[in-house]
Each structure stands twice: as structure tokens, then as C-alpha cells.
Copies of this chain bind each other. A is one copy, B any other.
């Protein structure tokens, strides 16, 4: 159980480092939201897609609610907020970040490999669920970058967290 066990269970990343990584992404997404003109965040889109504000509403409905479900075992139905202003979105974004930190501290340190069903329909290991939330944020934020560029606005650098 000591050295042998340790050698059999290598770690790619520890939970606290992963949370710091996620928070870096959340900070960048926040700066992207801020970079949108107030009157474009919930109106501008390309290719018939959703506005970046609507995408951010989706992100709010996944991240903190997912961690709440992972901690409590109670899964709310997926339901994006009906936010439609930058000020309200930024407020909810910051509250969501605080909730994420709070729930994270309650996640069992040895439970990230456990298989769970999120939101009553997505089954996989806890780390897979959490990476989905982060990857989905990066995915939609990348789309927001195109919107901003199309609006003639230089987005914050991707590598700054």
C-alpha cells in the first residue's frame, strides 16, 4: 500500500492545481464578457448561433450546479438563467466562481475517479464531468473570441489567466 501503491497510481494533476487552472479560465472568460459592448453581448451572433451572453448563461447552468450535484447528490434540472444584461451576468459569474470554490472544498479528495450520473443523464467519472464543464467553457469562449473580432474588438490574450 505504500511505495508500490504509489507507483501504481500516478497523478497527472492534483485537485487543488486543477481548481486553480479552472479559476484561471474563469477569470479569462470574465474578461471576455467584460470586453463585449453592453448592447452586443445578448444581441450579436454569427452563423445563426446563440449570442455569447446566451452561451455564458449555459456555462452558469453547468459549472456550479454540477459541483453542487457532485457534493450533495441532488441534481437540479438543467435550466439556464434568463439573464440578458452584462452587469447581471458578471454578478452571477462571480457568485458562481465563489460557489465553485466552496463546493470544491467539499468534494471528497479520493472521489474524482468515481462514476456518477450528472443532471440525471450524463454518466462518467467525476473528473470527466468536471473536465466537460471546463472544456465547454473554453469551447464557447473561443466562439466569443470570433464574435469580438468580428465586432472589431481585440479580445484578451488566450494565454493570460
* A binding-site residues for B, Cβ under 8 Å: 1-3, 5-7, 9-15, 17-18, 21, 25, 46-49, 109-110, 112-113, 125, 127-128, 130-132, 135-136, 138-143, 145-152, 158-159
Contact = CB atoms under 8 A, between A and B. Distances in A.
Given A49-B149, A139-B141, A127 B12 contact: yes
Given A46-B149, A141-B142, A6 B5 contact: yes
Contact of A158 (B10, B15, B46, B139): B139
Nearest to A19: B12
Given A1-B2, A146-B47, A149-B47, A10 B109 contact: yes
Contact of A14 (B9, B48, B130): B9
A134 to B, nearest CB: 8
Given A143-B143, A158-B139, A17 B49 contact: no
7 contacts: A11-B14, A12-B12, A12-B13, A21-B128, A47-B150, A139-B139, A146-B147
Contacts of A136: 158
Nearest to A145: B143
Contacts of A109: 7, 10
Q: Which of A9, A14, A15 has the most CB of B within 10 A?
A: A14
Contacts of A5: 2, 6
A111 B140 CA distance: 32
Contact of A11 (B11, B25, B131, B145): B11
